[in-house]
Structures are given as C-alpha cells and as structure tokens.
C-alpha cells in the first residue's frame, strides 16, 4: 500500500474536496482505497456520503481513546473505506497534539495496521500545515500533494513551507486548485511559486475553478458525474490518471521515491 498526504498552507484550498474526489475516482478505476481524516473540521465523511458528522473517529484514537480503525471505518457507495476525524473537544485536541508531538510515528504505525493489498492506496486529509497532523501525514507519505489556490497567500506560504515538506524524501507535487487563467493575479502568483518549487509545479496537476463544485457537494453528488465534460471534471480525471499510473510505477516522475518511504 502506498500513502498520499494532501496538505495545504492556507484554509479553503480544496484539500478535502480533492481528497474525496481522488478517493472515488481511484476506487472506480479498481484501486483499493482507504481515506483518513486528520482534520478536526471532520468534513471528509460529509464529502464521502455521510449525512451526519461521525461522532467517533481518528481524533479520539489520536487522543488515546481506543483503536484507530476498528469501529471507526465506513465504506461509501464507491467502495472507499474511510475513517472520519470525529467530533472532538478542545481538550481532546490539545491532548492529541501533545501525544503526536511525543510519538512522531503514531500515524506510520497506525497505517501499517491496515491490511491492504500492495496496489492499495491510503489518502490522508490533514489539518492546515504546519500542524502535528500534517507533519505525521507527510512523514507517512510516499507522495505529498500540496493543494493550493493560485493566489498570493496560497503561493507565498507554500513557497516558504516547501523545503520542510521535502525533508522526508517523499515525492512532492503541487496541485493548483481553483485555477482561473483569465486572472493576471493568479498568473503572477504561480510565477512566484514556480520559482520556489521548480518542477514540483506541473501544468498537468491543476483543477480549474468551477462554481458548480460546492453545489454538487451540497446535493450529495460528484461534479464529474453531474457535469462530466466540464473542465474541472476533466482535470480531476487527469489527476486521478496520473496518480493511478504513479501507483503502478509506470511514470517517470523525475525524482526517485526513497525506498524507506515505499510500502
Ligand atoms: N475547483 C474548485 N472550484 C470551485 N470551488 C471549489 C473548488 N475546489 C473546492 N471548492 C470549494 O471550496 C470550498 C473549500 O473546499 P474544501 O473544504 O475542500 O477546502 P479545504 O482545503 O479542505 O478547507 P479547510 O482548510 O477548511 O480544510 C468548498 O466549498 C469547495 O466546494
Ligand atoms: Mg478540509
């Protein structure tokens, strides 16, 4: 099983949206997919079909209350196995942040307990970077996807954090989300980002802005089902295809994945 961490350095970048969409698109390609929510906002379950916020979840396991997967794992209509974060109190989050700081490999160990075939993939939705959850996810990842909006705040904060995201030796790629090429400001922000991250920023890894994205979510549907020919649907399929090929090892990604990080 390989692990993909989705991180972002600003709020609302589209991390949860992209995590859920990729989970479903990869599952529809026949890939065994697990998804884990490490963000106290507890939104991944809603994207994957829960009609209420799961009360129990990984947040409690991180705080030392019970086991990470047993009793916390759901399966959605497309066969994605997922573990919500659950509803936690401030005291519980303070406790688990302290624990994660003490046990930097908590998530690596928890993921090793998932009994998944070698061709399976785990997708990790994280709290905004920097955070204990994002640090654990990056440490566990073979591939880190930095989801960022093409605006000055998103690009400048990612440019600043990028060296620390690369420290583990995992492959790191930028996914530009909410792209609107007609806006000069976005082009300028991406030039700045490109100067900082080099070929981690590829044209292929982008998802255009589509106002129908939140509307589909609100209806409990997927944009790529409701509007399969839209640019954003095409982009999400392209990203899923790229990841599928990377998982199969048929891509020349230009940078070797450290064997220590390959499970
Ligand atoms: N490509 C897109 N086009 C238009 N809207 C989008 C796009 N991607 C995501 N959104 C919308 O942007 C909002 C934020 O997305 P999402 O919750 O996935 O971001 P996030 O990075 O997980 O946020 P948070 O920092 O709160 O965890 C949602 O309403 C989502 O529907
Ligand atoms: Mg989110």
Ligand 1 center to 259 CA (angstroms): 33
Atom of ligand 1 nearest to the CA of 20: 18
In the reported structure, the alpha carbon of residue 8 is separated from the centroid of ligand 2 by a whole-number distance in angstroms of 9
Domain coverage including residue 100? 2-261
Q: Which atom of ligand 1 is nearest to the CA of 232?
A: 1
* pLDDT confidence of residue 252: 74
Residue 236 DSSP SS3: helix
Mean pLDDT of the chain: 94
Pocket flag, ligand 1, residue 206 (CB < 6 Å)? no
Which pLDDT value is given to residue 203?
Answer: 79
Tell me: pLDDT of 263 over 60. no
Q: Is 128 in the pocket of ligand 1 (CB under 6 A)?
A: yes
Closest-CA residue, ligand 1 atom 9, reads 14
Degrees, nearest 5: CA angle 239-240-246: 90
**Verdict on whether the full-model pTM lies above 0.85:** yes
We report the CATH number of the domain holding residue 22 as 3.40.50.300
Taking each helix axis as running N to C, give the angle between helix 132-140 and helix 90-102, from 0 to 180 degrees, rounded to the nearest 10: 40
**Of the ligands numbered here, which is closest to the C-alpha atom of 11?**
1
- Write down the pLDDT at residue 175: 98
Ligand 1 pocket check for 215: Cβ under 6 Å:
no
Q: Which atom of ligand 1 is nearest to the CA of 212?
A: 4
Note the ligand closest to the C-alpha atom of 7. 1
Helix (H/G/I), strand (E/B), else coil: 143: strand
Q: Which atom of ligand 1 is nearest to the CA of 208?
A: 1
State whether residue 168 is helix, strand or coil.
coil
Residue nearest to atom 19 of ligand 1 (CA): 14
229-252 per-position pLDDT tens digit: 999 999 999 999 999 999 999 887
Q: Is the CB of 41 under 6 A from ligand 1?
A: yes
Contact (Cβ atoms closer than 8 angstroms) between residue 95 and residue 59? no
Nearest CA to ligand 1 atom 7: 178
Output Rg (C-alpha) for the chain, integer angstroms. 17
Counting the structural domains of the chain, the total is 1
Count Cβ atoms below 10 Å from residue 50 Cβ, excluding itself.
Answer: 16
Question: Tens of pLDDT along 34-91?
Answer: 999 999 999 999 999 999 999 999 999 999 999 999 999 999 999 999 999 999 999 9
């Amino acid at each position: 099983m390989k692990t993909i961490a989705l991180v972002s350095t600003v709020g609302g970048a589209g991390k949860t949206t992209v995590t859920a969409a990729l989970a479903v698109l990869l599952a529809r390609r026949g890939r065994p997919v697990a998804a884990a929510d490490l963000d106290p906002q507890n939104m991944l379950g809603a994207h994957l079909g829960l009609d209420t916020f799961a009360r129990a979840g990984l947040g409690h396991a991180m705080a030392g209350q019970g086991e990470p997967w047993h009793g916390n794992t759901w399966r959605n209509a497309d066969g994605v196995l997922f573990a919500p974060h659950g509803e936690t109190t401030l005291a519980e989050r303070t406790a688990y942040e302290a624990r994660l700081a003490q046990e930097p490999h908590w998530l690596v160990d928890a993921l090793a307990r998932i009994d998944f075939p070698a061709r399976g993939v785990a997708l990790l939705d994280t709290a905004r970077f920097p955070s204990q959850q994002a640090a654990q996810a990056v440490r566990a990842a073979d591939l880190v996807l930095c989801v960022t909006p093409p605006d000055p705040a998103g690009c400048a904060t990612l440019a600043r954090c990028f060296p620390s995201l690369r420290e583990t030796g995992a492959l790191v790629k930028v996914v530009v989300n909410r792209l609107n090429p007609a806006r000069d400001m976005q082009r300028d922000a991406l030039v700045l980002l490109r100067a900082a991250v080099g070929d981690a920023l590829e044209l292929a890894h982008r998802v255009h802005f589509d106002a129908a994205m939140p509307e589909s979510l609100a209806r409990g549907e997927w944009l790529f089902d409701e509007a399969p020919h839209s640019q954003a649907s095409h982009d999400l399929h392209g990203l899923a295809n790229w990841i599928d090929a990377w998982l199969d090892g048929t891509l020349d990604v230009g940078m070797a994945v450290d064997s220590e990080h390959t499970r």
